[in-house]
Structure 1
Amino acid sequence: MDPHRHRDENGGNANGLPAKRRRSAPTSISAAEIAKDFAHHDPAVARINNGSFGCCPASVLASQLQWQQLFLRQPDEFYFNRLQPGLLYSRTLVKELINAADLDEVSLVDNATTAAAIVMQQASWAFAEGAFRKGDAVVMLHYAYGAVKKSIHAYVARAGGHVIEVPLPFPVSSNEEIIFEFRKALERGKADGRRVRLAVIDHVTSMPSVVIPVKELTRICREEGVDQVFVDAAHAIGSVEVDVQDIGADFYTSNLHKWFFCPPSVAFLYTKKCSALSSLHHPVVSVEYGNGLPMESAWIGTRDYSSQLVVPAALEFISRFEGGIEGIRKRNHQKVVEMGKMLAEAWETFLGSPPEMCCSMIMVGLPGCLGVSSEKDALKLRSLLREEFKVEVPIHYQPWKDGEVEEKNRNHGVTGYVRISHQVYNTIDDYYRLRDAVQRLVHDEFNCMKFPSK
C-alpha cells in the first residue's frame, strides 16, 4: 500500500508520514532555483568533489528535518506507527529505480561500506563453517575502495580465504584491458585446485575513477564457475544506468547520498532472490535478527533513520529536471568530459580514460613539473589547493613502473591526476578556478619537493 495514499487534515497521511508536496504542473527547474536549493554550500569554495560526500538540496533537507521532528515529538508513536511504513515506501521506490524483481531483494543500510561488511561476513561464515574450503579465493580489483579492501581482509582472509587483486592499468584506454587482467586474476584464483568463491567488482572505481564493465565481468564469472559476485557500486545510482537484473550479480550496493541527492548516510543492498538470502545478516544484531535482512537493516536500535526516509523527497527534487535522473546523469557526464578536456588542454596533459569510461567524474593529468611523487604529496597538494585557492578536488598519485621510461617521457612525466566531479550545482567558474590555480603553481615553479618532509 502506498503510504502517501490517505491524507489527514494536517497534510499528512493515515500513517502519519510527511505529505508529499505536489505541483499543479511539471516545470523545469531554473538555474536560480538550483542555486537556492544549494545556497548552504560555501560560496567561497569551488566544490568539484561531489564524488566524495555527495550533496543534498534544501528541499530534501527540509523533509529530513520534518522526519526528525516527528520522532522527537513522540518517539514511541514514531517507532511503532511511522518508521516501518516509511522505510517500506523508500525500499519500494528503490526497487523500481534499480529494476529489482522483488521487494525482498532490497534492503536499506547506512552506506556501501556497511553493505560490503554484510556480504563479507557471510563469506567468512562460509569459510569458517566449511561451505567454502580454506584457501579458496576471493578476487577483487586493485582499485577497490580502501574500506572494502580492509573488509575483505578483516572478514574473508582471516577466515581462511585467499585474496587475489586484479592489477588494473591506469591510465586506461579500453574495457578490453580491464577484461584481460580480470581473466588472468581468475586463472590465478583457480590455480592449485582452488575455487574462486567470491568476486568483488566495482561499478565505478573511486580513485582513480573509471567505469568498469560490470555486466561483462559478471558474465565471465558465471562462465568460470565463480560462486558469488558482489558489485560495489558506491558511485553508481544517479551517475550511471543501474539495472540489477541486466547486470546479473548476486549482490549490488550503491549509496543514495553521493549522486542521488539524499543526505548522509543511506545506501541500498540488492540481493538476488535465488542467492542465499537467509544467510545474510546485519552486523548489528537486533531483536529483528532472523527476520530477513530488510527487517534486520530497518531496525538496528535507536538511531536517526531520517536519511533513509527521504527517498521520496529526493525523487521529487529529481523530477524537476528535464529527463529526471537519466537527464541529470547524461548532462553531468557531458559537462565533466567538457571540463576535463578544457583542463587537459590548458595544462597540456591528457584524460585518464576515454570519455565513455567515465561517468560524472573524470581523471585529468596534472602537469608533471608539479612533481607528485607519493600519496603524501597528493594529499598535501590537495590541501594546498583547498587552503590557498579555495578549490576542493581529490588528487591521485600514479607511480611509474620499472621499464616505463619511454611512456613517462611521452606523457611528460605525469604522476598526479585530479578527479573532477560535475553535479547540477556546479558552474564553469569552479573549473576555471582549478585551471588557474594549477597554472599559477606552474608559473611560480612550485614543486612538491617544497613541502615540509613531515
Structure 2
Amino acid sequence: MAFPHPPNGTITTTTTTTTKSITPSELRREFSHHDPTIARINNGSFGCCPATIIAAQQRHQLLFLCQPDNFYFNILKPSILQTRRLIQTLINADHPDEVSIVDNATTAAAVVLQHTTWSFFSSIFQPGDAVLMLHYAYGAVKKSVQAYVTRAGGQVIEVHLPFPVKSSFDIVSEFQKALQIGKANGRKIRLAVIDHITSMPCVTIPVKELVRMCRDEGVDRIFIDGAHAIGNIDIDVKDIGADFYTSNLHKWLFCPPSAAFLYCKMSDELSDLHHPVVSHEYGNGLAMESAWIGTRDYSAQLVLPEVLEFVSRFDGGIEGIMKRNHDTVVEMAEMLINSWGTELGAPPEMCPSMAMVGLPACLGIKSDSDALKLRKHLRECFKVEVPIYYRAPLEAEVDPISGYARISHQVYNVIEDYYRFRDAVNKLVEDGFTCSLLSK
C-alpha cells in the first residue's frame, strides 16, 4: 500500500476553485453511507459528513500513521493554523490568535467556565456573584456551570423563556427581568451564557440585542454558545460583540466529529485562558494549547479546506445552503402542522435550519419519559429519526400541545422523509395510540 507523501511535507488543498455544480446523483453518492431505510430528519444532533470529506479525513489520518514524527513536527501546527485562519474569515474575527480549535462546544464552555472559576478563587469575583444563563441552555453546559461556578461559590440565575415563542420581544423581556434579579441586593453578574440557537426547544435567539443589554447592565463577560450556528446562520463576532463565541464544525458545516472553534476577543483581562487538558503547549496561549492536547486523532480539525471546496459546489455556496435549508424546513414544518392541526413552536423567522412542530395532543405526551419513548417508537416501528420535546402544560390550559418534534433539513434530505413522519403520526392518531400504551 502506498502512503501519501506530499513533496513538501504538508497537505496541499484547493479551496473554492470548483466551478461545476453538484448534481443530484453526486449528492446521493456523497451521503450513500447513510442508512437508506431511515428518514433522518435530525441533523441537529450529530450533523453529517459527505464521502469526499471522510476521504479527506482518512488522508490526514494516514499522514500521521505513516510517519507520526513528521506529522507532529511539520504538518499538524501549520494545518491547524490554516483552519484557524479560515474560521477567522468565516466569523469576521480580527486575528487568527482569537480563534482556537477544540473538540466541541462543551470543551469550549469548559475553557470559559474554568477561567470564571479561577476568578472566584483569586478573589477577582466574590462569593455570591452570579452567572446568568438561559433555562433552555444545552444540558451539558448547564451541568458545566454547576460543576465550575456553583462549586466556586457563584450563584446561577436562569432566564425562563416562554415556549412556544411568539416573537423576539418575548425573549428580550424575560432576559431583562433576569438581569434585574441577578443584580438584586448589590450582586454582580460576572458572566452571561447565551445560546445563539437553543437546542431543545429550538429557537434562534436575538443575541446581538441581549449582548447590548448585558453591556448596559455591567455584566463582566459574555459567552455565546452557538453550537448549532456555523453553517446554519450567519456569524459576525465583531457585530455580536461578545467576549467568547463557540460553534461546532461537525453539526452544520460538514466536518467529521469532533471539531469546533472557540473565539476569544483580544483582551489583556482575558489573556489567561487555558485548555482544561494541560499538555506540552501550556503557557503558549489558548490557541497553541488547544492545538496539541496529547496524542489523539486531530484529522477532523484539519479538513475545513476540503469542506469549503465541497460547499462551493452548491448554488450560492454556504449562504445558498443555509437559505435553502431554512426555507425548506419551514415549508415542511407548515406542511406537518397543517396535516395535524397543530402549531409551530416559533415564528418562521426565528427558525434556523430546524423547526419545532407541535404534535397532536391526543398522543398523550405527559413527560420527558413519554417523549423519549415516542421517539424510540417512531425509530423502531416507522424508521423515522426525530427528537421529541415535552412541554409541561400551563395552568388552566385545555387540551394543550405538550409534545413538539424538532425537525431538521440538510442537503441530503428529501421531501419523502417528512411525508413518512407525517404519515406515521397520522397512523398513530387513527389507531388511537397514546404514549401510555408504551409504558405497558
TM, length-normalised to structure 2: 0.97
- Which residue, out of 429, 432, 436, partners 2:416? 429
Q: Answer whether contact 1:12 1:19 (CA < 8 A) is retained.
A: no
* Structure 1 residue matching 2:252: 3-state secondary structure: coil
Matched, 1:108 2:95: no
State the one-letter code of the partner of 2:209: E
Residue in 2 that maps onto 1:206: 199
Q: Distance in 1 between matches of 2:122 and 2:15?
A: 51
Q: Distance in 1 between matches of 2:294 and 2:100?
A: 16
CA RMSD of aligned residues (A): 1.2
* Structure 2 residue matching 1:140: 3-state secondary structure: strand
Q: CA deviation at 1:433?
A: 0.3
Give structure 1 stretches of 5+ with no counterpart: 1-9
Matched, 1:129 2:118: no
* Structure 1 residue matching 2:405: 3-state secondary structure: strand
Residue in 2 that maps onto 1:266: 259
Classify 1:400/1:18 alpha carbon distance in 2 versus 1 (closer, same or farther; 3 Å).
Answer: same
- Which residue, out of 64, 69, 83, partners 1:90? 83
Q: Distance in 2 between matches of 1:165 and 1:112?
A: 20
Matched, 1:70 2:63: yes
Q: CA deviation at 1:275?
A: 5.8
Matched, 1:197 2:190: yes
State the one-letter code of the partner of 1:289: Y
Q: Answer whether contact 2:15 2:305 (CA < 8 A) is retained.
A: no
Q: Distance in 1 between matches of 2:245 and 2:174?
A: 22
Matched, 1:16 2:3: no
Paired residues, number = 437
State the one-letter code of the partner of 1:148: V
Classify 1:419/1:400 alpha carbon distance in 2 versus 1 (closer, same or farther; 3 Å).
Answer: same
Q: Answer whether contact 1:240 1:329 (CA < 8 A) is retained.
A: yes
Q: Distance in 1 between matches of 2:7 and 2:241?
A: 37
Q: Distance in 2 between matches of 1:16 and 1:154?
A: 41
Q: Distance in 1 between matches of 2:321 and 2:39?
A: 20
Classify 1:137/1:78 alpha carbon distance in 2 versus 1 (closer, same or farther; 3 Å).
Answer: same
Q: Distance in 2 between matches of 1:215 and 1:445?
A: 46
State the one-letter code of the partner of 2:150: A
Residue in 2 that maps onto 1:4: none
- Which residue, out of 160, 172, 179, partners 1:167? 160
Q: Distance in 1 between matches of 2:132 and 2:423?
A: 42
Q: Distance in 2 between matches of 1:235 and 1:367?
A: 27
Give structure 2 stretches of 5+ with no counterpart: none
Classify 1:70/1:122 alpha carbon distance in 2 versus 1 (closer, same or farther; 3 Å).
Answer: same
Q: CA deviation at 1:33?
A: 1.1
Q: Answer whether contact 1:277 1:293 (CA < 8 A) is retained.
A: no
Residue in 2 that maps onto 1:3: none
Q: Distance in 2 between matches of 1:350 and 1:13?
A: 59
Return structure 1 stretches of 4+ with deviation > 2 angstroms: 10-16, 18-23, 274-278
- Which residue, out of 401, 404, 407, partners 1:414? 401
- Which residue, out of 371, 392, 405, partners 2:385? 392
Q: Answer whether contact 2:368 2:389 (CA < 8 A) is retained.
A: yes
Instruction: State percent identity of aligned pairs.
Output: 63
State the one-letter code of the partner of 1:37: E
Residue in 2 that maps onto 1:278: 271
Q: Distance in 2 between matches of 1:171 and 1:21?
A: 41
Residue in 1 that maps onto 2:293: 300
Q: Answer whether contact 1:277 1:292 (CA < 8 A) is retained.
A: no
Q: Answer whether contact 2:13 2:305 (CA < 8 A) is retained.
A: no
Q: Answer whether contact 1:250 1:275 (CA < 8 A) is retained.
A: no
Q: Distance in 1 between matches of 2:335 and 2:325?
A: 15
Residue in 2 that maps onto 1:148: 141
TM, length-normalised to structure 1: 0.94
Classify 1:275/1:445 alpha carbon distance in 2 versus 1 (closer, same or farther; 3 Å).
Answer: farther
Q: CA deviation at 1:336?
A: 0.1
Matched, 1:217 2:210: yes
Residue in 1 that maps onto 2:358: 365
Q: Answer whether contact 1:168 1:181 (CA < 8 A) is retained.
A: yes
Q: Answer whether contact 1:18 1:67 (CA < 8 A) is retained.
A: no
Matched, 1:440 2:434: no
76-85 or 14-23, which deviates more: 14-23
Q: Answer whether contact 1:18 1:66 (CA < 8 A) is retained.
A: no
**What does the per-residue CA deviation read over 1:234-280, in whole Å, with 9 as the maximum and x for residues that have no partner?**
00000011000000000000000000000000000000002634221
